[in-house]
Amino acid sequence: AVVSTQSTGDHCDKCPAGSFSALPGSAECTACSAGSYASFIGNTKCTLCPAGKFSASEGAEKCVPCGAGTAAELDGSTNCTVCSSGSFSYGEGNLKCEQCSKGSFSGSEGMDHCDKCPAGSFSAL
């Protein structure tokens, strides 16, 4: 997407945060694509969101950390993956979901912890 600003022709305007202009002589700025960001004005490129963070839409000025129960393993993520049952992620900015340890479980998707198996039951994983 193109980002335009009002310009009078007597000077060059810097591209706003969330956009860039890579080449000299540009007449417009381009919005950063989803999965990338540009925090400052005057950017010549956008930066991929680091693993554990994402940007869902174009024109992002920053990336958002993945919440508990989710993770983003790769740079440039446009969303976070929900942890499957049997796994969890605690806190924010997780790169991956962890498997529950032996003797514990998570029976639902998107969990931020595993519960201990109650007396009379077990989990060998």
State pLDDT tens for residues 19-67: 999 988 888 999 999 999 999 999 999 999 999 999 999 999 999 999 9
pLDDT at 7: 58
| pLDDT, tens digit (0-9, with 9 covering 90-100), for 35-48 | 999 999 999 999 99
**How far, in Å, CA of 63 to CA of 84, rounded?**
23
pLDDT at 122: 87
Rg (CA), the chain: 21
Higher pLDDT, 8 or 95: 95
| pLDDT, tens digit (0-9, with 9 covering 90-100), for 69-85 | 999 999 999 999 999 99
Strands 29-31, 2-3: pairing kind: antiparallel
**How far, in Å, CA of 72 to CA of 49, rounded?**
10
**How far, in Å, CA of 45 to CA of 22, rounded?**
6
| pLDDT, tens digit (0-9, with 9 covering 90-100), for 85-109 | 999 999 999 999 999 999 999 999 9
**How far, in Å, CA of 106 to CA of 93, rounded?**
20
Average pLDDT value over all residues in the chain: 92
